[in-house]
Amino acid sequence: MPNEIVVAGLTGAGVDTWALWIKIMAVGATATLSTLMLVFTVALYRHRDHEASVALHFSVANLCATAYVAGDIGVRVCLLDNDLRHVMIPYRLSLSAVVMSLASLFALHRVLASRVVSTRRLAAIYGTGAVISGLFWVDHPALIIASERYRITNVGVFADYGALAAPFYVACLAALVTVSVGMLRQAFRARGRLLWRMTMFGFAVFFLAGLHDMFRELGLELLPFSGLTMGCAVFQIGAFATMVLHYSHTLRERAHHDHQLRRLEDRVVRDALSGLFNRAYLEQRLDHLPPAAGGGLLFIDLDHFKGVNDRFGHDHGDRLIRAVADAIRRTVREQDIACRWGGDEFVVYLADADEAAARVVVERLLRAFRHLQLDSTPNLDVGASVGFAALRDEDWRATLQRADQALYQAKAEGRNRLAVG
Ligand SMILES: Nc1nc2c(ncn2[C@@H]2O[C@H](COP(=O)(O)OP(=O)(O)OP(=O)(O)O)[C@@H](O)[C@H]2O)c(=O)[nH]1
């Protein structure tokens, strides 16, 4: 009677129901982790990260481990459901998943050992795994699983093995030993790196669990439960942590790299003393203005700046230039482009501004210059002469020339004022 066999086979239906629920929750969690790891892998590929292929084989190994646990659950559900006719389906799925997991670990080991592994070689590894997995599904006494027959003992379901079972298990053991020894060597070389330590921990637990379950299948029961499910869980947690650590490390490196790049770009387009854009940058922006662009150019020249240098020294003059630049930056809008043209001269491109708007801006600028503070000396009373010219249907250089002429007119009219060209 199948029913009696099942009840006799399971050590208390209640306890096993709990175990089943825990396994179902575990498979949910590991499936989520595996999916997240795949997302990480895709992100690494998109960033052309050199570790992307490592992450890919890791992810596949973890998906297979999840499939293994899911198959194990299927076997138990069949038993609890008394559906003994279908019990071999999840059983075979489990075994296939373990073999595919081994194949991906092998691929991972190869990739870690030499970085560049040919696609053909990787295909051969996964292909061999797929062929062996396929053999589980064929009923033949010469193959790994002899037939649809199985035994139920007090620890679980065991298929009847065919002639290929013994060499198959020896080959699996050899593959596991090769992978683990190779990985442990790599971990030793990468000493001190938390990443690989965690990976190794996951592998070691996975390996020991696999060994334990193999002995169990052969009738030598060391622990009264299957170790592989637990091994898979530990392996996946370790692998997930590895991926997160690896990815955060990659992101940190990238952020640092981007920061350096921005600083370099800044150096190219900015004036070192004032922090405003430099002349070359403004020229390049003006060269690329659309033909119908409005606005105009302000040419600003500080009044009697030579006297400041002469009386207080060059350093003081430099600080004054910086303070003036800050005032300009604070006064103009985001879409305007302010640059230090050279010496004590500044040019500002005022986007979409006519003469009236320019007058308002210049008024604000001259007021800000008057109230500049340096070394806690309030109201330095800095003056500047400004020329403005609106952009017309002409080369911007002609507009700048008009602004320059207006500036000289402002100087001639008594300084600290605006003149329009
Ligand atoms: N501190 C400092 N001074 C500079 C710098 N570049 C140019 N200068 C000085 O700025 C002064 C510019 O003076 P001018 O604009 O020709 O004359 P000014 O004294 O401002 O007189 P007006 O423009 O006629 O009102 C010169 O003395 C330059 O040596 C700089 O980077 N730092």
Task: Tell which atom from ligand 1 comes closest to the C-alpha of 345.
Answer: 15
Cβ(113)–Cβ(182) under 8 Å? yes
Q: Are residues 215 and 325 in the same domain?
A: no
**Across residues 28-51, what is the average pLDDT?**
83
The SS3 assignment for 347 reads strand
pLDDT at 111 over 80: yes
Decide: 306 in ligand 1 pocket, CB within 6 A: yes
Q: Which residue has the higher pLDDT, 55 or 107?
A: 107
Q: In one letter, which amino acid is 70?
A: A
Q: Which residue's CA is the closest to the ligand 1 atom numbered 21? A: 304
Cβ(388)–Cβ(355) under 8 Å? yes
Q: Are residues 83 and 183 in the same domain?
A: yes
Percent of the chain whose pLDDT exceeds 70:
85
22-45: b or e for each residue (b if 16 or more CB lie within 10 Å)? Answer: ebeebbebbbebbeebbebbeebe
357-372: b or e for each residue (b if 16 or more CB lie within 10 Å)? Answer: ebeebbeebbebbeeb
Q: In sequence order, what are the beta bridge partners of 337? A: 349
What's the 299 CA to ligand 1 centre distance in angstroms? 15
Q: Are residues 253 and 357 in the same domain?
A: no
Residue 150 falls inside a structural domain: yes
Task: Quote ipTM for the complex.
Answer: 0.97
Q: Are residues 282 and 388 in the same domain?
A: yes
Cβ(66)–Cβ(236) under 8 Å? yes
Q: In sequence order, what are the beta bridge partners of 277? A: 270, 339
Cβ(271)–Cβ(339) under 8 Å? yes
> Alpha-carbon Rg of the chain, whole angstroms?
38
Question: Which CA distances in Å does 216 have to 153, 224, 226, 227, 420?
Answer: 11, 9, 8, 9, 95
The SS3 assignment for 117 reads coil
What does the alpha-carbon distance between residue 419 and residue 421 come to, in Å, rounded to a whole number? Answer: 7
Residue 242 sits in a domain whose CATH number is 1.20.1070.10
| Angle at CA of residue 234, ends 9 and 14, nearest 5° | 30
The overall average pLDDT reported for the chain is 84
Q: Are residues 303 and 213 in the same domain?
A: no
Q: Which of 236, 261, 286 is the last residue of a domain?
A: 261
pLDDT at 192 over 70: no
What does the alpha-carbon distance between residue 419 and residue 301 come to, in Å, rounded to a whole number? Answer: 12
Q: Is 337 left (phi over 0), alpha (psi -120 to 50) or beta?
A: beta
Q: What confidence tens digit (pLDDT) does each residue in 252-310 have?
A: 888 999 999 999 988 999 999 999 999 999 999 999 998 888 899 999 999 999 998 99
What is the number of structural domains in the chain?
2
DSSP 421: -
What's the 306 CA to ligand 1 centre distance in angstroms? 5
Decide: 309 in ligand 1 pocket, CB within 6 A: yes
Q: Are residues 98 and 219 in the same domain?
A: yes
Task: Tell which atom from ligand 1 comes closest to the C-alpha of 308.
Answer: 19
Q: Are residues 98 and 135 in the same domain?
A: yes
* pTM value > 0.90: no
Q: What confidence tens digit (pLDDT) does each residue in 8-29 have?
A: 344 433 446 777 787 788 788 8
Give the per-residue pLDDT at 12. Answer: 38
Residue 299 sits in a domain whose CATH number is 3.30.70.270
Domain containing 311 equals 277-420
Give residue 3's pLDDT band: very low, low, confident or very high (50, 70, 90): very low
Q: What confidence tens digit (pLDDT) does each residue in 65-99 have?
A: 889 888 988 888 887 777 777 888 998 998 899 89
Q: Are residues 284 and 252 in the same domain?
A: no
What does the alpha-carbon distance between residue 105 and residue 201 come to, in Å, rounded to a whole number? Answer: 14
Give residue 236's pLDDT band: very low, low, confident or very high (50, 70, 90): low
